[in-house]
Amino acid sequence: MQFVQFQDLGQMPYRSAWDYQTALHRGLVAHKLANRHLPAGQYPQQHHLLFVEHPPVYTLGKSGDEHNLLITEQELLEKGIEYYPINRGGDITFHGLGQIVGYPILDLEWFFCDVHRYVRNLEEVIIRTVAEYGLEAFRIKEFTGVWVNRQLPLTGVAKLCAIGVHLSRWVTLHGWALNVNTALEYFGYIVPCGIQEDGKSVTSLAQELGHEINLAEIKEKLKNHFAAVFECEIGQSPFLG
């Protein structure tokens, strides 16, 4: 069973968290290359799981369309929202306070070499977690992420969690963004994930349940389900900056 080092970064600007996870990712890749004469499992490798909340920021995936950002640079400044084109998959999404962003930095050669399975596993972690709050979440084949049916009088489906990843030498980067107590009005300034179909919107756990969720509580549930789905052990590590 693999050991995954856990760190809760608290509230951190996107750029700082991106630089930090990138440094960890490069460390795993460098260690892997230094031991390339050995098969996976025959040398120690350090995997990571980071949780973080970002101040308001939009990120655009490498395959995204910049026209899905619906406000100007000046409006971004006025509203205090940052914007970054980044190297994950997917289109544009929003990160903000009250949202739990999870960044697994795993060498998948120590787990399984299957990108599709990796993304499905991330979705499964979220589905199992929100089920503990009595909410039935599901996948939609054409759209990566986790969805729920809107409660009457609302209709259609809504995305609860966006997922976008990047892999280099089977080492993962980026991850998920679960809307827990997230301010949903920020999604009105973008075309979330580039999806413009009628009947598809964005929601949060608080919106669907009618009350705010204790973030410390749901973080523990996420960690437990991550450990179960990925069949790993998760250890606590304080973030030292």
Residue with tokens 């544009």: 92
d(CA 159, CA 145): 7
From the candidates 113, 161, 193, 232, which is the catalytic residue?
Answer: 193
In angstroms, the Cα distances linking 184 to 22, 45, 59, 188, 227 are 28, 39, 16, 8, 29
User: Which residues contact residue 136 at a Cβ distance below 8 angstroms, ignoring those fewer than 6 apart?
Assistant: 148, 149
CA-only gyration radius of the chain, Å: 18
In angstroms, the Cα distances linking 140 to 3, 106, 130, 237 are 31, 25, 16, 35
Q: In what order do the strands lie in the sheet with 57-60?
A: 82-85, 57-60, 92-95
Task: Say whether 193 is catalytic.
Answer: yes
Residues recognised as catalytic: 193
